[in-house]
Structure 1
Amino acid sequence: MTTAKPNAVRHAFKRLRKKIREVRARVNRRLTNAKVIAVTGSSGKTTTVALLAHILSEKGSVRSQFVANQFRDAVHTLRRLRRRDAFVVLEQGTEAPGQLPKAAELIKPDIAIVTLVAIEHCTAFRTIEAVAEEKASFVRTLPVNGRAILNFDDPHCRAMAEMTRAKCVFFGVEGGEYRATDLNLSSDGTLDFVLHSRHGRMPLRTQLLGKHNWLSVTAAVTCALELGVSADTIAEKVASFSAVHGRMSVYSVNGRKFILDTEKAPYHSIGLPLETLRTIAATKKRFILGQISDYRGNSDRKYRDTYQAAAKVADEVCFVGARAHKAHAPRHDVETGKFRAFASMEALARHLTDTAQEGEVILLKSARNLHLERLMLDAVEPVRCWANECGKKTSCFECGLFGAAFDEHEGRSRSRRR
C-alpha cells in the first residue's frame, strides 16, 4: 500500500478548505436579508465602494470589501456575513475573461454599479468590447426587482441597460437622472460640485483631489439616494470622507505635501492626476513616475508622452526604475534639472531629502509593485528597504517592514506570523 506524498495531501486539504469556504459563502448569501451591492468598472471602484459604505453606515450595519477585489475576496466577505448586516458592498475586478461571471453567480447582487469601461489587462482582453462584456456580468445577473446604476457618459455602460430586465438608473455629466454639474477644484485640489436629480439640487463638498472623482462620488450618492438615504445625511457623509490610501491620498510631512497615487497606473487615466497637480497651489511641484500599466503598443511612446504631459505641469519630473530612460526628455530638460532619471528608489529618496523645499507638492504615481510610498515614509522616518521590486502585493504600510533591509524580511515575517 502506497502512502500519498505529504505535498499531495497538503494540496488536497487546501482544495477542500477552499471548497468549504465557498459553500459557506453561498449559504450565507442565500440566507442574508442584507441588500447586496456589487461595484465594478475600469476605474473608480474602490472609492465608490468606500464612500458608499461610509454613507450607508448611517442606515445600518455595513459589510464592505474594497482594494482586494477578486473572487476569493468576495468569498471571504460573504463567509463573514452576520444577521445584523443591513448592507454588503463589494468591489469586484478582473484580470482575465470569465472571472466576473463566476463572481456574479456567487454574489447575486441586488444592485450593480458600473463606473466606466476602458481598456485594461490588454494581454487578456485585447479589446474594449471584451472588457465591456466582462463588466456587464453583474448587470445580467440582476433579479427583475434589482437595480443597475450605470454611467450615462460611457456608451459601453449605457448599452448594458439592454442586458437586464431590472430597473436602470443613469448618472453622468452629460446626462442621466443624476447629473453632476459645476465641477470645481479649490486651490488645494479638492473637488466640489452640484448633483441634480428628482431629489432636487444637492451641493456636494469633498476632501477628494481631482475633478475625475465626480464619477465615484456621483455613483455612490446615486445609489444612496435610490436606497432612501436623506440628502442632508449624504452631504455630511461625503464631506467627512477622506481618500482611500494610495488613491490620491494626501500626507503632510514637515511642511511638504505628498500625494500618493500608487495603487495602479493604467495608461488610459494617467493624465487625471497631472490635471489635478496643475490646479494645486505650491512653491514647487514634483511629479514622480514609476511604472505605467495597461496599455497596448510600444511602451516607449507611452512613457515619452507621459513625460511631455508632466513637463507642462510640474517644475521637476522624476522617472525611477528600469523604465526611467523611456522618458526621452529633451537635452535642455536634462541639463536644467527639469527631468531626472533614477535607477534606484534609494537614490531618488536621497535626492528628495537633499532638495526638500517647504510648501512643495510631490505627486507619486505608479503601479503598486514599485512601492513608491516609501519615498513619503522616508520623509517621516528612515527607510532601509530599497528593493526596486520586492514582489509583495501589499503596501509598505501593511507590510510594516520598511525599516529593515529587504534581505532581513524573511526572518521577521516568520516571527510575526508565529
Structure 2
Amino acid sequence: MSKLHILGIAGTFMGGVAVLARELGHAVEGSDQNIYPPMSTQLETLGIALKQGYLPGNIASDCDEIVVGNALSRGNAAVEHVLDAGMQYTSGAQWLSECVLPGRDVLAVAGTHGKTTTTTILAFLLEAAGRTPGFLIGGVAEDFGVSARIGAGREFVVEADEYDTAFFDKRSKFVHYRPLVAILNNLEYDHADIFPDVAAIQRQFHHLVRTVPRRGRLIVNGHDTHLREVLAMGCWTPAERFGFDESFEWSARKLSEDGSRFAVLRDGKQVGIVEWPLLGDHNVLNGLAALAACAAVGVDVAAVIPALAQFRSVKRRLEVIGECNGITIYDDFAHHPTAIATTLAGLRAKVGDARVIVAMEPRSNSMRLGAHADALAPSLDAADAVVFLARPELPWDTGKVIAAIRGQARAVADADALIAALKAQARPGDHVVFMSNGGFDGAPRRFLAALGDD
C-alpha cells in the first residue's frame, strides 16, 4: 500500500476520500487551511494526521501520491512544491474513480440542493435493504458515524458535485463517476466563481447524463425546468420523474404540512407512507428520489419505507445541537437562497407561531461574491429576526439586504458581536438557526454555552 498526502483534507469530499484510503490500507496524512468539526473530529478519531496550512514542509517527503482538492490553485505554496518536486499527484474524484469505483454499481446524487441529505437517505435505505453499500457523503452521516466507507455490497453511493475537479481538471467532479443510476435533484445557478451562467452548469449536467448506460436509470425532478432542458439536449437512458405531481412515475402526497409524513406513490399507486423526523418539501423530494433510486437497483421500496422512521440524517442539516432556557438551537449548512427558504419553511410549519431567529453568514463562494444578494432577503421571509454576519472582507454592501428583510434585522462584524446580539434577543420558546456552510467560528455551540452561563 502507498502513502498519500491529501491537500484540502478537511473539506467534506476530501475528508471522505481520506477515510476510504485509510480503509483500503493506505497510510494517510493531510493538510488544510481551515480545519474544524465535524470533519476534523472524524479524521482525528481515525488517527489521520492533520497539519495546519498549505506549507511545503507539511508534506512528508516519502509520500507516494498527493491527492489535490479543488480549493487549491496555482500559486498555492503546497501546489507549487508538488509541481517543482515532480511528485505524483491526482484529484480526489480521479482517485475515487480509479481506486474505489471499478466493479461497483455506482449511484450518484447530483443537484444544486439536497445532495448530501439525499445521498445519506439512499445509503441508509440500501443498508436497511441488507445491501451494505459503500458511500461517500459530503458530511458526517449520523446513522453511520462516518462520511465514507468502502462497504461490502455491490452498490456505491456517491455525492456527485458539479463543482470543478482540480486546478488541472476543470470538469465537474461527477463526470468521473460513471454511474449506473443518477439522481438529478434540481438545477439552479450557483458556484459563481466558476460558472458564468446556468447554461454552463447545464452543459456539465449533460456530460453526466452522457455517461449513464442504457441499462441504468435517471431519476429526475419533474418540476425542474432546467433539468428538462438538460434532457432535451439528448438522453439515452430510461428516465423516471419524481415530485408532487401524481402523473410522475414517483410522486409524494403530503399528509402533514411540515413534510414529516407523506404517502409515496409509484405510477399513481400508493406503495407506503413515510413518517420521519425530517422537515420541509425539499426533504420530501429528497426522500422520494432516494426511494426511486433504490427501486432502480431492485430494492423492494415498500419493505424499506418503515426504516425511515429511524433515519437521523446528517450533521449540520437543521441539526438540533441543544436547548437551554427554553431556546432551541440549530446548526444548518446553508449555501443558497433556495435551500435557506425551504429549510425555514419546513421549520416554520413545525413550530407554528414560535419565533424563529436566524444567524446568517454568507460563506459560500457565490454568497461571498454577491451572486445571490438579491434573493437572500426573500429567502429569510419565514424568520422573525435575522442577525447577519457581515465580515469586513465581504466585498458587497449588506445594507440593501438588511433593509429588505421582512423581520427585524441587523448586521454585525464578527462572531462575538453576533453571539451578543442573539443573547440579547432570544427568549424562552424561540428557535435560533445558525446558517453557514463554513465553520462560523464555532458560533452555534458558543451561543449555547453563553446561554448556559446565565
TM range (shorter): 0.7 to 0.9
Question: Which of 231, 238, 250 is 1:178 aligned to?
Answer: 250
| Equivalence map 1:73-152=2 (5 Å) | 81=150, 84-96=152-164, 99-100=170-171, 103-104=174-175, 106-152=176-222
| Structure 2 unmatched ranges of 5 or more | 1-60, 62-77, 141-146
Q: Give the equivalent residue in structure 2 for 1:281.
A: 352
Q: Report the CA distance between 1:197 and its aligned residue.
A: 0.6
Q: Give the equivalent residue in structure 2 for 1:52.
A: 122
| Equivalence map 1:194-273=2 (5 Å) | 194-198=263-267, 200-201=269-270, 202-254=272-324, 255-261=326-332, 263-273=333-343
Aligned length: 355
Instruction: Describe the shift of the 1:101–1:286 C-alpha distance in structure 2 as closer, same or farther (beyond 3 A).
Output: closer
Q: Name the % identity.
A: 21
Q: Report the CA distance between 1:50 and its aligned residue.
A: 0.4
Q: Report the CA distance between 1:12 and its aligned residue.
A: 6.4
Q: Report the CA distance between 1:28 and its aligned residue.
A: 4.9
| Equivalence map 1:234-383=2 (5 Å) | 234-254=304-324, 255-261=326-332, 263-279=333-349, 280-281=351-352, 283-291=354-362, 293=364, 299=370, 302=373, 306-307=376-377, 310=380, 313-322=382-391, 325-327=398-400, 329=402, 338-366=408-436, 368-369=437-438, 371-372=439-440, 374-381=442-449
Q: Give the equivalent residue in structure 2 for 1:412.
A: none
Q: Aligned to 1:374, what secondary structure does the other structure show?
A: helix
CA offsets 1:59-87 (integer angstroms, 9 cap, x no match): 22211112179xxxxxx97xx746x3321
Which is helix-richer, 1 or 2?
A: 1
CA contact (8 A) 1:183 1:211 kept: no
CA contact (8 A) 1:193 1:205 kept: yes
Instruction: Describe the shift of the 1:365–1:10 C-alpha distance in structure 2 as closer, same or farther (beyond 3 A).
Output: closer
- TM-score when normalising by structure 2: 0.67
CA contact (8 A) 1:191 1:211 kept: no
Larger Rg: 1
- Letter of the aligned partner of 1:287 in structure 2? V
| Structure 1 unmatched ranges of 5 or more | 1-5, 70-75, 384-418
- Letter of the aligned partner of 2:227 in structure 1? C
CA contact (8 A) 2:260 2:275 kept: yes
Partner Cα distance (2:354, 2:91) in 1: 56
- For the aligned residue pairs, the C-alpha RMSD in angstroms reads 3.8
Partner Cα distance (1:99, 1:200) in 2: 43
| Equivalence map 1:384-395=2 (5 Å) | none
Q: Give the equivalent residue in structure 2 for 1:391.
A: none
Q: Report the CA distance between 1:144 and its aligned residue.
A: 2.0
CA offsets 1:254-302 (integer angstroms, 9 cap, x no match): 23212222x3422344422332343223643212222165769994993
CA contact (8 A) 2:362 2:368 kept: no
Q: Give the equivalent residue in structure 2 for 1:191.
A: 260
Q: Aligned to 2:288, what secondary structure does the other structure show?
A: helix
- TM-score when normalising by structure 1: 0.72
Partner Cα distance (1:54, 1:272) in 2: 23
Partner Cα distance (1:103, 1:142) in 2: 11
Q: Give the equivalent residue in structure 2 for 1:72.
A: none
CA contact (8 A) 1:266 1:294 kept: no
CA contact (8 A) 1:147 1:168 kept: yes
